Amino acid sequence: MNNDLLLELISKAKEIAKQNFCCKYSNFTVGVALLCQDGSIYTGFNIENHGIESICAERATFAKALTDGHKEFTALAVVGKKLDEEKFNKTLPCGYCRQFLSEYTKPDFKIYTYDDNEDKLYSYTIAELLPESFKL
C-alpha cells in the first residue's frame, strides 16, 4: 500500500474515533477505517451498551461494508484513546474481532495501528494476529 493511502486510513480512523458518542461505559473510543478491494473506505467506531456484548469498531465497520455488498478487503486502520486524552494509543482488534476478521478476510489482510506517543506505525497481517484461527 502506498504511504498516502495508509496515512489517509489512519487519519480517517482518528477522525471517526473523535466523533464517537457511543462509548460512555468505557470512555475509550476506537475508530477504524476499512479499505475495500475496490478502493472504497468505510469507517466506524465502537458502540457500547451495558448488556453482555458491545459492538467493536471493527465489527461495526465490517457490518456496514458487508451489508453494502463488499466481499473483498485489503486493509484496516485501528486507533484508540481515552476520551479525555488527545493522543491515540497503539490499539489492536480484540480476540473476538480477530476471529471475525479471519473469517471475512484473507490471511494477508493488513491491520495497521498508530501510536501518537511513540510516533510509530505498527503493521500486522490477520494471520499474525490470529494464527491457528478456528475453522469449521
Binding site for Zn ion (CB under 5 A): 56, 94, 97
Is the alpha carbon torsion for 70, 9, 106, 38 positive or negative?
positive
Active site residue 53: no
User: Minimal CB distance to Zn ion: which residue?
Assistant: 56
Shortest distance, CB of residue 39 to Zn ion, whole angstroms?
25
CB of 95 to Zn ion, least distance (A): 8
Contact (Cβ atoms closer than 8 angstroms) between residue 92 and residue 124: yes
The nearer residue to Zn ion, 39 or 51, going by C-beta atoms, is 51
The minimum distance between CB 26 and Zn ion, in angstroms, equals 12
Residue 9 or 48 having the CB closest to Zn ion: 48
- Strands (DSSP E) along the chain, which ranges? 28-36, 41-45, 73-82, 110-115, 120-125
Catalytically annotated residue among 58, 72, 118, 128: 58
- What lies within 8 Å, CB to CB, of 135 at 6+ separation is none
Is 30 within 8 Å of 78 (Cβ atoms)?
A: yes
> Active-site positions?
58
